Amino acid sequence: MSGTITIALDAMGGDRAPEVVIRGADLALERHPDAQFLVFGAQERIAPLVAQLPRVAKVATLHHTSEMVQNDDKPSQALRAGRNTSMRLAIEAVAEGRADGVVSAGNTGALMAIAKFALKTLPGIDRPAIATFFPTLRGETVMLDLGANVECDAENLVQFALMGDAFARSVLGIVEPTVGLLNVGSEDLKGNDAVRGAAARLRGGLIPLRFHGFVEGDDIGAGTVDVIVTDGFTGNVALKTAEGTARLFTHALRTSFEHSPMAKIGALFARGALRKFRERLDPRRYNGAMFLGLRGIAVKSHGGTDAFGFANAIGVAIDMKVNGFLEKIRADLTRINVPMPAPQPAAL
| Residues of this chain that bind a second copy (CB under 8 A) | 74, 135-137, 147, 150-151, 182, 184, 189-192, 216-222, 230, 232-234, 236-249, 251-253, 256-257, 259-260, 262-263, 265-274, 276-277, 280-281, 348
Instruction: Kindly tell me which of 189 and 342 has the beta carbon lying closer to a second copy.
Output: 189
Q: Which residues pair with 141 in a beta bridge?
A: 134
d(CA 33, CA 40): 21
Roughly what angle, to the nearest 10 degrees, separates helices 86-95 and 108-119?
30
DSSP one-letter code for 284: G
Instruction: Kindly tell me which of 224 and 301 has the beta carbon lying closer to a second copy.
Output: 224
Q: In 3-state terms, what secondary structure has residue 229?
A: strand
Shortest distance, CB of residue 304 to a second copy, whole angstroms? Answer: 12
Instruction: Kindly tell me which of 9 and 289 has the beta carbon lying closer to a second copy.
Output: 289
Shortest distance, CB of residue 146 to a second copy, whole angstroms? Answer: 9
Shortest distance, CB of residue 80 to a second copy, whole angstroms? Answer: 16
Taking CA atoms, 274 is separated from 266, 268, 332, in Å, by 11, 9, 43
d(CA 283, CA 285): 5
d(CA 22, CA 121): 29
Instruction: Kindly tell me which of 170 and 305 has the beta carbon lying closer to a second copy.
Output: 305
Shortest distance, CB of residue 157 to a second copy, whole angstroms? Answer: 13
Instruction: Kindly tell me which of 10 and 219 has the beta carbon lying closer to a second copy.
Output: 219
Number of H helices, E strands in the chain: 14, 11
Q: In 3-state terms, what secondary structure has residue 145?
A: coil
Shortest distance, CB of residue 223 to a second copy, whole angstroms? Answer: 9
